[in-house]
Amino acid sequence: MTTMRVLRLVVHVRTREPVLLLGEVEGERCLPVFLRRPQADAIALGERGEGDPQLPQDVLLPVLQGLGHELVGAEVVSLVDSVFRAELVFADGARVELRPSDALAVAVREGLSIGVATSILDEVGQPIADLFPDGTDAPPEKQLEDFRKFIDEVSPDDFA
C-alpha cells in the first residue's frame, strides 16, 4: 500500500465529471480518480473544521467513536473491470468496502490517511511530471494550466 496525498480536485472538461488527483507522498506517480459530484463537493471543502456545518458523511466518525471503533484511513484496494474498489480501515484491522468517492470523502473530511494499492499505481499511475511539467511547487495557475492540458485528453476509459 502506498500513502497518497491530495494534489488537486478538478473538473474533467469533456465529461464535466469531478476528478481527484492523488499523488504519492514518497514518489513521483499520481492517480486520477473520477468522483461523484456530492462527494467531490465534500472533498472540495477540505478537512472538517470545528465550526463547519455537518455534511452527511461527517456524522460517520462520531457514530463509530461512540460505538468504540477508531477509523484510521481509506484505501483504494483494487481495480476491477476499470472500476476502483475502496475500503475504510479501522484501527483493529476491520475493513468496510465503500465506493471510492465515499471512502475518499470521509478520509479528506476527517484528515485520515489515504492509501492506494501499489499494483494499481503500477498499472494505471501517471508520472506527476507528465501532468505538472513545472512541478507541484509551481504557481497554482501554472499547475492548473498543465493539468488541464492533461485532463482534456484523458477519459475514464484510459485507465482500463
Range with the lowest mean pLDDT among 6-20, 70-84, 100-114, 130-144?
130-144
pLDDT the model gives residue 146: 60
Q: What is the CA radius of gyration of the chain?
A: 16
Q: In the chain, which ranges are E strands?
A: 2-11, 18-24, 29-34, 71-80, 83-90, 95-98, 113-116, 126-127
- Reported pTM: 0.79
Instruction: Give the other-Cβ count within 10 Å of 30's Cβ.
Output: 27
Annotate 63-105 with DSSP letters as a single string. Answer: HHHHTT--EEEEEEEEEETTEEEEEEEETTS-EEEE-HHHHHH
Domains located in the chain, CATH noted: 2-48+55-159 (3.10.690.10)
pLDDT the model gives residue 147: 60
Q: Is the pLDDT of residue 97 over 90?
A: yes
Would you place residue 94 in the very low, low, confident or very high pLDDT band (cuts 50, 70, 90)?
Answer: very high
| C-alpha distances out from residue 133 to 19, 51, 85, 122, 145, Å | 19, 38, 30, 20, 10
pLDDT the model gives residue 71: 95
pLDDT the model gives residue 148: 64
End-to-end Cα distance, the chain? 20
Nine-digit cell at 74? 481509506
Q: Name the residue among 7, 12, 21 with its Cα closest to residue 154.
A: 12
Bridge-based pairing of strands 71-80 and 113-116 is parallel
At residue 83's C-alpha, the angle toward residues 55 and 22, to 5°, is: 60
Q: Is the pLDDT of residue 91 over 80?
A: yes
**Among residues of the chain, what percentage have pLDDT more than 90?**
50
pLDDT the model gives residue 149: 66
Give tens-digit pLDDT for 60-82: 888 888 999 999 999 999 999 98
